[in-house]
Chains A and B, each alone.
Chain A
Amino acid sequence: MTKVLTEHWDQPRLHELETYRRLGGYEALKKVLGMDRAQLIDEAKKSNLRGLGGAGFATSLKWSTVTPEEKNPGPRYVVVNCDESEPGCFKDRVLATRNPHQLIEGLLIAACAIDAKQNFIFIRGEYQIQYEILEKALAEARGAGIIKPPVSIDLMRGAGAYMSGLDTALLETMEGKKAWPRQPPPFPTASGLMGRPTVVNNVETLCMVPSIVLRGGEWFAKLGTAKSGGTALFSVSGHVEKPGVYEFAMGTPLREILAAAGGVKGGRKLKAVIPGGVSTPVLTADELDTPMDWDGPRAQGSFLGAGGVIVLDETTDMVMVAHNIERFLAHESCGQCTPCRQGSYWYVRILERALDGGGVAADLDTLRRTGEDMTGKVICALGDTVGLVTRAMMKKFSNDFKAKFHGEPPHG
């Protein structure tokens, strides 16, 4: 199978400029300097590349909708979202560690596509090791004249909030504010960082770009399925033999990804798989033939998300899983929208009571109703998720829930 991102991962010192260049690095950037912007965006369009941070928005469309210089003179920015924080996802950490120059090259190409001069990599504070790797790589690229004025790339760190990983909340964070998502429109491409047109792209998305430029958009598109171009990285963790990052063509059945990671740990039976990080609804062991592209998990009521595959074996109690996820979401809820701030809190309380042995049968209905009152009624995807993931588990693993929610209310 063709590998786009992991092809050279076995090369020692890949993170250094010399190695990256020896393997053909920064050739794509040279090619781009001879292309006009329309050509470049067209190549991205042909590639069918979609945002691999989880939203799946067409990258070429994002680039092409940036308000043009004539209509809004002044700076425009590309911001890399390296604030990976969704439980189950760790591919951006590995990409930044292994091949930082690939990210820098992709970023410089995106900057050409929208004619941005100042660019930023926003990285979560807990990735201090990767921050230092990127700092070194940027210094190397500046020293070699690859990044030269007026073009610049600067780094900025977050301080521990999951919300900072959502594009508009990321921009708020960069502006010295708490990570509260904005209600679009306007979208960042019209009014982003400090009110200027801004493209926010995920690390993995940008890492794909150099290969697309070099080998062509059509080549990339053909690696995947009709609506999902290329390959994707899957972060596999949980009850598996070999947790890690695996690259597969878009549309690869979940079964193959699980097999590559060595199958279920200890030879136990599979119970369920969370396909794209904890905010994506669960799949059952019978849904392993789901093709992992933008449409496959959707047909099963879930999402590809950011490819964070979490494997759950037969010993797993789904009420515990639901509680763990909801506790995470409640902790990270920014508090802006009342349904999410309150709803996530009560979800945790209700699930906690059931885990402690005080589950009440009528609570299942409360969870259902409260969930419906959140999904679609809040600004960002976190609030949508709170109502969604537990309800999916209640539907697909009703026995687990019935076993824990059977009592009478404590006050009669």
Chain B
Amino acid sequence: MSHFSAEQEQTLMGWARRYPYRIMGLLEALRQVQEWRRCVGDQDEEYLAKLFDYPRNHVHELVTFFPGLTLRPTGRYRVGICRGLSCALAGSAAMCRCMEKSLGIKAGETTPDGKFSFETMECIGACDHAPALIVNDKLQGAASEQSISELLERLP
């Protein structure tokens, strides 16, 4: 018995079988676990190491290398503001401060209710919407005081 539900185990097995080599599904499986649990924990690493027949420390290496994967839980909504050059020119620093104030947390932290976490992002390929705002990997357009407050109210 693992700590995943039978359905979740099926989904992870799906990633393990999807590509011509089993190992090619590992990063997607990690993304999946991150989405469910908001982080990749010890048990998750153990499980995936077995499933993908890969050393546990290599799985851990991926979790610490890729910014999309985290060891500690993020919020249900991962809110990010880009600080790449074009976004910086458009005032992303001020928008980051606005987001921190609205959520009452600093960049890199999660709200106590676990709803939101806030991250500063390196370029997310949306320089035409500077300063770009992103939630759970989906671009939300440009950040402004108004768009930030609307977004935070809208998310259930």
Tell which of B23, B28, B85, B138 touches A88, judged by Cβ atoms closer than 8 Å.
B85
Any chain A CB within 8 A of the CB of B30? Answer: yes
Enumerate A58-116 residues with CB–CB distance to B below 8 Å: 75, 84-90, 92-93
Stretch at the interface among B60-68, B110-118, B144-152: B60-68
19 CB-based A-B contacts, threshold 8 Å: A87-B127, A88-B85, A125-B137, A126-B121, A126-B125, A127-B137, A156-B24, A174-B24, A176-B23, A176-B26, A176-B27, A177-B62, A239-B89, A243-B128, A245-B128, A310-B85, A324-B83, A324-B84, A328-B85
Closest A residue to B82 using CB positions = A87
- In the complex the two chains form, what is the Cα distance from A320 to B69 in whole Å? 30
Query: Which residue in B31, B58, B85 is a CB contact (below 8 Å) of A125?
Result: B31
Task: Tell me whether A84 and B89 are in contact (CB under 8 A).
Answer: no
- Residues 307-346 (chain A) with a chain B CB within 8 angstroms: 308, 310, 312, 316, 320-321, 324-325, 328, 331-332, 334
List of B residues within 8 angstroms of A179 by Cβ: 65-66
* Interface assignment of A237: CB less than 8 Å from any CB of chain B: yes
Which among A41-49, A157-165, A292-300 touches the partner chain? A157-165
Q: Is there an interface contact between B66 and A159, defined as CB atoms closer than 8 Å?
A: yes
15 new A-B contacts at CB < 8 Å, known A156-B28, A177-B58, A310-B86: A85-B125, A87-B86, A126-B121, A129-B138, A154-B18, A157-B31, A159-B30, A159-B31, A161-B65, A175-B23, A176-B23, A178-B65, A235-B127, A238-B127, A278-B84
Number of interface residues of B (CB under 8 A): 42
Interface string of B14-49 (1 = CB under 8 A from A): 000011110111111011000000000000000000
A118-B20, A238-B86 known; A85+B123 contact, CB < 8 A: yes
Considering the chains assembled together, what is the distance between the CA atoms of A157 and B34 in angstroms? 13
Once the chains bind, are B62 and A178 in contact (CB under 8 Å)? yes
B65 touches A128 (CB 8 A): no
Interface residues of chain B, those whose CB is within 8 Å of chain A, are 18-21, 23-28, 30-31, 52, 54, 58, 61-62, 65-69, 83-86, 88-89, 121-128, 130, 134, 136-139
A328 touching B125, Cβ below 8 Å: no
- Chain B residue numbers with a CB within 8 Å of A175 are 21, 23-24
- B23, B31, B84, B134: the one contacting A87 at CB < 8 Å is B84
B residues less than 8 Å from A92 (CB atoms): 125
Answer whether residue A124 sits at the interface, using C-beta atoms and an 8 A cutoff.
yes
Report the Cα distance A158→B28, complex, angstroms. 8
Chain A residues with Cβ below 8 Å from B134 are 126
Q: How many residues of A contact B (CB 8 A)?
A: 55
Residue from B20, B27, B67, B139 in contact with A173 in the complex, judged by beta carbons closer than 8 Å: B27
The contact of B128 among A87, A244, A332, by CB within 8 Å, is: A244
- Chain B residue at minimal CB-CB distance from A244: B128
Q: Which residues of A contact B (CB under 8 A)?
A: 75, 84-90, 92-93, 118, 124-129, 154, 156-162, 173-179, 194, 235-239, 243-245, 274, 278, 308, 310, 312, 316, 320-321, 324-325, 328, 331-332, 334
Q: Are A321 and B122 in contact (CB under 8 A)?
A: no
Closest beta carbon of chain B to A350's beta carbon, Å: 19
A189 to chain B minimum Cβ distance, whole angstroms, is 18
Report the minimal beta-carbon distance from A241 to chain B, rounded to whole angstroms: 12
Partner of A93 from the list B20, B61, B125 (CB cut-off 8 Å) is: B125
User: How far is B20's CA from A175's CA once the two chains are assembled, in angstroms?
Assistant: 11
A194 engages B20 (CB within 8 Å): yes
- Of A159, A239, A334, which contacts B69 at CB under 8 A? A159
Contact B128 A128 (CB under 8 A): no
CB <8 Å contact, B125 and A84: yes
CB-CB under 8 A from A85, the residues of chain B are 122-123, 125
Return the chain B residue nearest A261 by Cβ.
B128
* Cβ contact within 8 Å between A324 and B66: no
With CB as the reference atom, state the residue of chain B lying closest to A316: B89
Nearest first, the 5 A-B pairs at minimum CB distance are: A159-B68, A237-B127, A87-B84, A159-B66, A160-B68
Residues of A within 8 A of B61 (CB): 178
**In the bound complex, what is the Cα–Cα distance between A325 and B134 (angstroms)?**
21
* Of listed A87, A88, A176, A324, residue having the most chain B CB within 10 A: A176
Question: Contact: B54 with A87, CB < 8 Å?
Answer: no
The minimal Cβ–Cβ distance linking A269 to chain B, given in whole angstroms, is 15
CA of A174 to CA of B26 in the docked complex: distance in angstroms? 9
Residues of A within 8 A of B20 (CB): 75, 118, 194
Q: CA A189 – CA B126 in complex, angstroms?
A: 31
Closest A residue to B121 by beta carbon equals A126
